[in-house]
Amino acid sequence: MIVSIDDLRQRARRRLPRTVFDYVEGAADDGFTSGANRRGFDRYLFRARALVDVSAVDHSTTLLGEKLATPIILGPTGLAGLLAPRGEELAAKAAASRGTVFTLSTMSIGTLEEVAAAAPSPLWFQLYVWKDRSVTRALVERAKAAGYRALCLTVDVPVMGNREQDRRNGFTLPPRVQFSNVMDVLRHLGWVLRMSKSPRATFGNFVDHPSLTRTDAVGVARFTNSQFDPSVTWKDVEWLRSIWTGPLVLKGITCAEDARQAVSLGVEAVIVSNHGGRQLDFLPGAIDVLPEVVDAVEGRAEVILDGGIRRGSDVVKAVAMGARACMVGRPFLYGLAADGQAGVELSLDILTSEIDRTLALLGRPRLRELDRSALRVDTPATL
Ligand code: FNR
């Protein structure tokens, strides 16, 4: 029976070949930051109020001027279409059915246009800056034409992080059957069968790219390292600001200086994120740097917390610390692998019902009115 995000994770693990599950779980180097994203929440304990009328709990919020039915939005995850055929479309539909945002990664399997056509959800497009600026510009223009509401520039991948498990597994696109994984693939024929219905098994937005053909087994890190521009700077943010008229969001902010610079360039929202611990290892947990960023921004942009959310109580803590909403990656991917669109919906339902219960027990029925008085920080005696 599935009652928690961890149950969904177990189900995903059973249904996916090892190389694909490892890709989802993947963390950089020693996995310190990936673990810190979870451990960080343990430092924040609640200060509950008793005898408050909590018969009507309200967890809704607004983000970039739009009302969200839940404070959880779906983050950009490359290759989600490897977990289920048309995975990005399914996740976008699930987000729409739960009244929230789906963010499409540049490195998705479904194309920008396919996902926009499939889902009425408020869609955001996540951008990586390519060395060839005409490719970058074309992506921005396609996102605009397809009706994406916000552009989310990820700023923590000047080069790819060191995901050693993917290297050991020889993770390629399309996934390859090799001597080392043939038994594992045979144990997951259900996945092989399901994926045979997928329109493709490579980066959909670049099917025509010369170094990416349908039949080629391309080392994912090698490909992205050869295409992403390590010389990206704040000048490029200014450039994007000038060619993108909608809201601009920066994902991967982890300190006050960068938060202030983002605000000074008119960015509408910043996402406090360490890429789920997949990039620079030994960054602190995302929740640990949230207060620094919230204080630096001083309300001039919205702040979103991303990384390590596995419980509704995590969301409540982040909102109490000043986040407007939380972004999730792996939790909805587990749902997608476990049961397609219904699984993504279940992941959102689990987290949202946990938020409601937490708010009620906390004696703070309105999520939007939470503040730091709902928390105690650093209470080592109980840890
Ligand atoms: C990611 N993430 C990510 N971020 C991004 O900006 N562009 C991308 O293409 C990807 N791809 C990607 C693939 C997979 C498999 C994962 C797990 C993550 C990072 C993602 O948006 C988010 O920051 C983290 O997943 C948040 O941490 P949690 O929720 O997974 O703990």
Domain ranges of the chain: 5-44+59-360
Task: Tell whether 273 is in a known binding site.
Answer: yes
Ligand 1 binding pocket (C-beta < 6 A) is 23-24, 37, 75-78, 105, 107, 126, 154, 251, 273, 275-276, 278, 306-309, 328-331
Q: Which superfamily, per CATH, for 5-44+59-360?
A: Aldolase class I (3.20.20.70)
Residue 104 pLDDT: 98
Residue 130 pLDDT: 94
Residue of the nearest CA to atom 10 in ligand 1?
A: 77
Q: Does 135 score more than 60 pLDDT? A: yes
Q: How far apart (Å, rounded) are the C-alpha atoms in residues 196 and 190?
A: 10
Buried b (16+ CB within 10 A) or exposed e, 327-345: bbbbbbbbbbbbbbbebbb
* 47-56, 138-147, 196-205, 219-228: least confident range: 219-228
- Paired tokens of 354: 């946990």
Whether 28 and 278 have beta carbons less than 8 Å apart is answered as yes
Mean pLDDT of 143-157: 97
Residue 379 pLDDT: 59
| Bridge pairing between strands 66-68 and 61-63 | antiparallel
Please, which residues bridge with residue 304 across strands? 271, 325
| % of the chain at pLDDT higher than 90 | 84
- Give the Å distance between the CA of 101 and the centre of ligand 1: 15
Task: Tell whether 307 is in a known binding site.
Answer: yes
Q: Is 275 annotated in the active site?
A: yes
Distance of CA 67 to the CA centre of its chain: 20
- Give the Å distance between the CA of 193 and the centre of ligand 1: 26
Whether 70 and 60 have beta carbons less than 8 Å apart is answered as yes
Choice from 275, 336, 351 to test ligand 1 binding pocket (greatest atom count within 8 A of CB): 275
- Give the Å distance between the CA of 162 and the centre of ligand 1: 14
Reported ipTM exceeds the 0.95 cut: yes
Residue of the nearest CA to atom 2 in ligand 1?
A: 77
Please, which residues bridge with residue 271 across strands? 251, 304
Catalytic residue among 59, 188, 209, 275: 275
Question: What count of other Cβ atoms lies within 10 Å of the Cβ of residue 55?
Answer: 7
pLDDT category of residue 218 using cuts at 50, 70 and 90: low
Residue 75 pLDDT: 98
Q: How far apart (Å, rounded) are the C-alpha atoms in residues 107 and 126?
A: 9
- Give the Å distance between the CA of 278 and the centre of ligand 1: 8
Task: Tell whether 308 is in a known binding site.
Answer: yes
> Which of these, 72, 70, 75, 69, lies nearest to 88 by C-alpha position?
75
Residue 358 pLDDT: 98
> Please, what sign has the CA dihedral across residues 81, 21, 154, 285?
positive
Q: Does 212 score more than 70 pLDDT? A: no
Residue 193 pLDDT: 92
> Which of these, 272, 270, 312, lies nearest to 288 by C-alpha position?
272
Distance of CA 338 to the CA centre of its chain: 18
Q: Which atom of ligand 1 is least distant from the CA of 327?
A: 29
Q: Does 202 score more than 50 pLDDT? A: yes
Q: Does 382 score more than 60 pLDDT? A: no
Q: How far apart (Å, rounded) are the C-alpha atoms in residues 120 and 140?
A: 19
Mean pLDDT of 156-168: 92
List pLDDT tens digits, range 1-45. 999 999 999 999 999 999 999 999 999 999 999 999 999 999 999
- Give the Å distance between the CA of 6 and the centre of ligand 1: 17
Please, which residues bridge with residue 258 across strands? none
Residue of the nearest CA to atom 9 in ligand 1?
A: 78
Beta strands per DSSP E along 40-135: 44-46, 61-63, 66-68, 72-74, 102-104, 123-127
Q: Residue 32: enclosing H or E segment and its boundaries?
A: helix 32-39
List pLDDT tens digits, range 311-326. 999 999 999 999 999 9
Choice from 77, 315, 330 to test ligand 1 binding pocket (greatest atom count within 8 A of CB): 77
| Bridge pairing between strands 44-46 and 375-377 | antiparallel
Task: Tell whether 128 is in a known binding site.
Answer: yes
List pLDDT tens digits, range 246-285. 999 999 999 999 999 999 999 999 999 999 999 999 999 9
